[in-house]
Amino acid sequence: MHSQLQQLMHKEKQVPGSVTYSIKRYAKEPQWNMDDIGMINYHVEKNNPDENYLQLRFCVSGNVYCREKKTECDFCKFSASKSCVEKVDSVDVLSFTFSPSYLKQFASGKKNATLSDNVLSFQHTTSFSKTLPLCGKTRLAIEALLNHTYTDSLENIFLNAQTQILLLYSMDCMMGDPEEKFTCKFLANSDDREKITRAREILLQHIGEPLTIKALSRKVAINECYLKKGFKELFGTTIFDFYQTQRMEHAKYLLYDKGLSVTEVSSLLGYSSISHFSTAFKKHTGIKPCELLLH
């Protein structure tokens, strides 16, 4: 199937002593309707241990690839440019292959070993594969991998940290309890979790068109109280703080990288006055917008 798709990016790398990973990004066709999915492959050969490995694979859609930046383009993503020709909706396929020598450090070594311990130490005797829909935490970790800007040794450190996070979530979700544990009981319903994830996507798409929580709850068809509580539990921040952080980070990008004026950025982000924008920017960054332009 991959040979029939328009490939936008292909990156492979081996982090020394850790993981071999591959990221392939493809142009998404408008008619495709895809569910994000993850897979864990455990391969063990008793008579040939050199062939043993644990692999995580993910297929996610809904991201935006920019040919200009070679990453997800914030300028397009936040709808600041309605007609950007570099913007491409993508389907992203990621794989991470871990060696036994790397994984054994995480096994507990206890006598009454769990299934996770047996897999990490390659004591589980049969190979298997297992799939399940992605939780919000896994999706965020994947987005971080797709959009980071680290290079060289810092990239290795970042990749090592993110792949360990993906390993943690995968082992927990795929091999632990089949149900995720939530403080908010309604989050046990996958439809409600999907609505809250969708709300986050809508916030990002309307970064220059402020939405009230009431309007947002209507768009995703969920109670306002559930939306606020569920968002905080899934993403670890309030809707307001998340939205403000994204707006100010985008403002920095528009000011510093794109060279727009304070007036232009204030207007693009939907502020009624430059002074309101400057106050919000300083509260988030510690400096005024005009001071950023002097750096």
Question: Tell me: the pLDDT tens digits for 130-152?
Answer: 887 677 778 888 888 888 778 87
Cα distance between residue 212 and residue 263, in whole Å: 24
Look up tokens 């609505």; give the residue: 195
Q: What is the pLDDT of residue 86?
A: 64
Q: What is the pLDDT of residue 224?
A: 92
235 sits in which H/E element: helix 224-235
Question: Residues 233-252: pLDDT tens digits?
Answer: 877 788 988 888 888 878 88
Cα distance between residue 71 and residue 174, in whole Å: 29
Q: Which residue in 200, 192, 143 sits closest to 166, CA to CA?
A: 143
Cα distance between residue 180 and residue 157, in whole Å: 29
| C-beta separation of 186 from 192 below 8 A | yes
Q: What is the pLDDT of residue 158?
A: 84
Amino acid at 260: L
Cα distance between residue 233 and residue 206, in whole Å: 22
**Entry pTM:** 0.55
Cα distance between residue 58 and residue 97, in whole Å: 12
- 3-state secondary structure at position 97: strand
How many residues are recorded in the chain? 295
Cα distance between residue 37 and residue 109, in whole Å: 31
CA distances from 250 to 193, 214, 217, 266, 284 (A): 26, 24, 24, 11, 12
Q: What is the pLDDT of residue 68?
A: 66
- 3-state secondary structure at position 60: strand
CA distances from 108 to 40, 117, 118, 120, 173 (A): 20, 6, 9, 9, 18
What six digits make up the tokens of 28? 């998404």
- 3-state secondary structure at position 12: strand
Q: What is the pLDDT of residue 221?
A: 92
Query: What is the maximum alpha-carbon separation in the chain?
Result: 71
| C-beta separation of 12 from 22 below 8 A | yes
Q: List the pLDDT tens digit at each of the 295 positions of the chain.
A: 555 678 888 889 886 667 889 999 888 877 676 678 888 999 998 888 888 999 999 998 877 777 666 544 555 555 455 555 567 778 899 999 998 888 988 887 777 777 888 888 898 888 888 887 677 778 888 888 888 778 877 887 788 888 888 988 888 776 554 444 567 788 877 788 888 888 988 888 787 777 889 999 999 999 999 999 988 887 778 898 888 888 887 888 788 777 788 888 888 888 888 888 888 888 877 888 887 666 5
